[in-house]
Structure 1
Amino acid sequence: MEPLFTSEQLAEIHAYHQPHYVRAAVDPLVQLGLAVLLMAVLVRPVYRGACATAAALERRFGLLRTAPVSRAFFSAMDRLWGEPGWGAAILFALFIDLATQLLYAPANVWFYYVLEHRYGMSNFTPVTFAWVWFKGTLVAALALTALVVGMYGLARRVRRWWLVLGVPVALLMLVAAAVDPYRARLYYDQTPLPEGPLRERITALMRKADISFSDVVVEKTSVTSKRVQAYFAGQGPTRTIVLNDVIVKELSEDEVLAAVAHEAGHVHEARWPGRIASSLALVALLFFIDQLLRLAARRGWWGVQRVGDIRTLPLVSFLVFLLMNLGAPVAGALSREREREADRYGLRLTGDREAFRRMLVKAARVNKMDPEPPRWLVLKGMSHPPIGERLATLDTP
């Protein structure tokens, strides 16, 4: 049987992945150090800077509070926050986020632009890279602002805020996947897959799998990346089969069908138990955050005197960091098992073992997958089994 990679290809793959492995090992320590630096040194001066900036903006643009169009917005924000002062809180959160972004910027540029270009994995130009980065930063800033106003605003005014916020958000999480097809369009253009044999075969395969869908689209990711990709977005009436333009170009129809069949396996997963567990975990997390906010107020950390003081944000971030790192090995193990089952389902659906193997081999070559990544990295929380393991399982009668 033809080897997965030649020795030259394997050497290049190892050289490409080695920096990523180093970063995976070092990054938790960097995040831990940054959290300690923020909480031990930077909270007070950054908070003073946020208050001073908010006061300066108030003096400069304070007339907006009484202007006919904007005063309703300011009044609503004051009610949500419980009093004036939400501007300083938002600025504090954004300043902390900006400091983190600037700290990581050199590494992110090197990993996601320089290294990707060095090994032929990226089609980014400096302009498109900056634009995608800007859009991601803007979306993150908006999400952070919503978090500050929503979570901290409620915590300042409602004793059991974690229930008031947690229950509706948990319910939204149960149906959030329905908006996935629209969220992806923030970053890439999508067009319907043209009529023809491939669309007809995908439609027939989904009929065999008893999976309804609204459309098959081609996502134009080649403007930034040379990787192949296929996934299902949405659920129920919004479910969409997404093929990126690279997979349509690089794989044969049989191989694309194998990829779609694998993704169809995820549709048939028992997702509701996981979604319910995630929703309950969110409510539990908000409860623990509430206890942390109350502890900070009792102890007077950073000058905090009440629940809902924005100066506790780095402490909350540190708690989330710890929980995510502790839970990553378990989440990764569960994810890898779901991927194995999706492989088994896809193979049963197509009945074409050879096409399935070719699909995995081509995906591994185009995406430069390491067939045998370090075991510690797998156990740390990899979402997919190593490609070498997947092929070995596939080749077992």
Structure 2
Amino acid sequence: MEPLFTPEQLAEIHAYHQPYYIRAAVEPFVRLALLLLLLGVLVQPFYRLATAAAAGLERRLGFLRTAPVSRAFFSAMDRLWGEPGWGAAVIFALFTDLFVTLVYLPVDVWFSYTLEHRHGMSTQTPGTFAWDLLKGRLIAAFAIAALVIGLFGLARRLRHWWLVLGVPVALMLLVSSALDPYRGRIYFDQKPLAEGPVRERITGLMKQADIAFADVMVEETSVASRRLQAYFAGQGPTRTIVLNDVILKELSEDEVLAAVAHEAGHVQEPKWPARIASSLALVALLFALDRLLRLSASRGWFGTHRFADIRSLPLLSLLFFFVMVTARPISGAFSREREREADRYALRLTGDVDAFRRMLVKAARVNKMNPEPPRWVVLKGMSHPPIGERLASLPPP
């Protein structure tokens, strides 16, 4: 069998991945340093700035509190928060997020735009890249505002807020994947796969696998990236098979079918145990946040005067950072095993080892996958086994 990459291709792949490995090694320490800087130095200045900004907005836009349409919104926010000040709290949270975003911005632009273009992986223009970046920040800002109002607002009003908030959010997590087909359309246009042999064969394969689905969609990602991709989105009546336009260009029908068969393996996974465990972990995390908020209030850390003071937010971020650093290697190990099982399922479903091997080889070449990444990178939390390992595990054709 011919080698996966020529020496020249392998050298380029190593050059492409090396900066990512350096970032993976350094980033946890940088993130920790930024959080400690926020906690040790910037909490009070940001809080004063947020309070002043909220007061200025109140003077200029105070008429909205009595306007016929908007007064109901302000009244609801005041009741949820329990006292004036929710505007300053939201602005404080946005300031802290903006600080971290601006610190990371040059690095993010270099990695996501410059490096990707240098190695031929991105097709974005500066304008489309900036627009996607802005969309991401706007979505993040909305999520942060909702977090502040929901978490801190409830915590200020209810003693067992972590249970009141955790149980419905956990239940929402159990069914949130039903919305996945619609989230993907925020960044890329999608259209139904045209009638023809590929669609017919995918439909037949799903009938063989006994997997119901709503549609097969083509996601037009080539406007931003040259990577090929296939995935299932949604569940039940919203389950959708999504193929990007690159995969349809780069792979043959048999190879597309092999990729879909692999993704079908994830549909057949026993998902409820993991979803229930995630929901319980969320409730446990909220309880830990409650304990941390109470400790911060009792000690008067960061100038806090009462329980669930917004100035405790960077402390909660620090706890979340440690939870994620600890959990990522564990979740990565489970994810890699799920990917191995999905490979085995695809081979059982199609019985075409040769097409599956060709699909993996082409995906590795187009997506510039490192066949043998450093072991510490894998153990740190890679979601997929290295492509060299996946190919080596295939049975002979």
For residue 68 of structure 2, what is the aligned residue in structure 1? 68
State the TM-score, normalizing by the size of structure 2. Answer: 0.99
Letter in 1 for 2:105: A
For residue 159 of structure 2, what is the aligned residue in structure 1? 159
For residue 77 of structure 2, what is the aligned residue in structure 1? 77
Pairwise mapping of residues 78-157 of structure 1 onto structure 2 (< 5 A)? 78-157=78-157
Q: Distance in 2 between matches of 1:172 and 1:313?
A: 24
- Write out per-residue CA displacement over residues 31-80 of structure 1, whole angstroms, 9 at most, x where no aligned residue: 01001100000000000000011011111111211122211111111011
In the alignment of these two chains, the number of paired residues is 397
For residue 49 of structure 2, what is the aligned residue in structure 1? 49
State the TM-score, normalizing by the size of structure 1. Answer: 0.99
Instruction: Indicate conservation of the 8 Å contact 2:353/2:396, yes or no.
Output: no
Letter in 2 for 1:339: E
3-state SS of 2:115 partner? helix
For residue 257 of structure 1, what is the aligned residue in structure 2? 257
Unaligned runs of 5+ in 2: none
Unaligned runs of 5+ in 1: none
Letter in 2 for 1:338: R
For residue 295 of structure 2, what is the aligned residue in structure 1? 295
Q: Distance in 1 between matches of 2:356 and 2:52?
A: 61
Q: Distance in 2 between matches of 1:257 and 1:67?
A: 57
Q: Distance in 2 between matches of 1:299 and 1:206?
A: 59
Letter in 2 for 1:38: L
Pairwise mapping of residues 196-275 of structure 1 onto structure 2 (< 5 A)? 196-275=196-275
For residue 9 of structure 1, what is the aligned residue in structure 2? 9
Q: Distance in 1 between matches of 2:12 and 2:373?
A: 14
For residue 25 of structure 2, what is the aligned residue in structure 1? 25
Comparing 60-69 with 311-320, greater Cα deviation is found at 60-69
Q: Distance in 1 between matches of 2:210 and 2:68?
A: 56
Q: Distance in 2 between matches of 1:85 and 1:210?
A: 54
Q: Distance in 1 between matches of 2:186 and 2:222?
A: 15
3-state SS of 2:393 partner? helix
**What is the Cα deviation at residue 396 of structure 1?**
5.5
- Write out per-residue CA displacement over residues 121-178 of structure 1, whole angstroms, 9 at most, x where no aligned residue: 0001000000100111000000000000000000001000000000000000000000
3-state SS of 1:394 partner? coil
Does residue 34 of structure 2 align to residue 34 of structure 1?
Answer: yes
**What is the Cα deviation at residue 305 of structure 1?**
2.1
Letter in 1 for 2:295: L
Letter in 1 for 2:53: T
- Aligned-pair identity in percent equals 74
Instruction: Indicate conservation of the 8 Å contact 2:215/2:241, yes or no.
Output: yes
3-state SS of 2:120 partner? coil
